[in-house]
């Protein structure tokens, strides 16, 4: 499922609106956690963005766009019009990739850790229902696929300090129990995310 491109106050916003709520796991500031979601937003903000209430800001954007009900939202300094889409076997991933000046090593010592503008946001749709455990596992799988793409591109880090992920699936049907990279659905998710991040990094 591909998003629609909208605009709020001149800033581009990607909007996903499935025909019915989907079971979602998200690490975004708005609608994070596990539960049904009716829409997803990924919005561009300017460099130097310093609001401390991103959940409120995203709720304001949703209201401007006429979105109602429970949704999930992300922010990024990347122009979301540069989104990269990849699909395989009914799985679809849309990725906006920004690594900024200081990509982050996940286990960097706190004393030397640096951060700067840059966010990799992943929105991924599964055509089959995933169990709660499998949904959690897919988030880890996406992180592994992203880190692999960064390593292969020679980026000195595993991501950025503000990366966020959402995985959406049907709420009904037999639930796949596993979402790791060697499971059927997890392997597909890993490949599409790895491909999307790799393509974006080659174009930076």
Q: What is the pTM of this model?
A: 0.95
Q: From the CB of residue 102, how many other CB atoms can be counted at a distance below 10 Å?
A: 16
Per-residue pLDDT reduced to its tens digit, 183-196:
999 999 999 999 99
The 3-state secondary structure of 65-122, one letter per residue: CCCCCCEEEEEECCCHHHCEEEEECCEEEEEEECCCCCCECCCCCCCCCCCCCCCEEE
Would you state the CATH architecture of domain 4-202? 4-Layer Sandwich (3.60)
Per-residue pLDDT reduced to its tens digit, 92-116:
999 999 998 779 999 988 765 556 6
| Least confident range of 95-104, 137-146, 168-177 | 95-104
Give the C-alpha separation, 110 to 67, whole Å. 39
Backbone region of residue 89 per phi and psi (left: phi > 0; alpha: psi in -120 to 50; beta: other values): left
């Amino acid at each position: 499922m591909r998003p629609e491109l909208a605009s709020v106050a001149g800033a581009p916003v990607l909007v996903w609106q499935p025909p019915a709520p989907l079971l979602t796991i998200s690490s975004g500031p708005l609608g994070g956690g596990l539960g049904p979601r009716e829409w997803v937003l990924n919005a561009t903000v300017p460099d130097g963005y310093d609001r401390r209430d991103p959940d409120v800001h995203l709720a304001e954007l949703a209201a401007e766009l006429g979105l109602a009900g429970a949704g999930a939202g992300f922010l990024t300094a990347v122009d979301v019009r540069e989104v990269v889409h990849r699909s395989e076997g009914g799985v679809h991933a849309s990725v906006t990739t920004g690594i900024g000046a200081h990509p982050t090593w996940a286990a960097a010592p706190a004393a030397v850790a640096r951060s700067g503008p840059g966010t990799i946001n992943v929105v991924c749709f599964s055509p089959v229902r995933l169990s709660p455990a499998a949904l959690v596992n897919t988030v880890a799988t996406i992180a592994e696929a992203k880190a692999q793409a960064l390593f292969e591109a020679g980026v000195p880090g595993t991501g950025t300090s503000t990366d966020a992920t959402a995985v959406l699936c049907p709420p009904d049907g037999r639930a796949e129990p596993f979402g790791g990279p060697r499971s059927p659905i997890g392997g597909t998710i890993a490949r599409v995310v790895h491909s999307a991040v790799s393509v974006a990094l080659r174009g930076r």
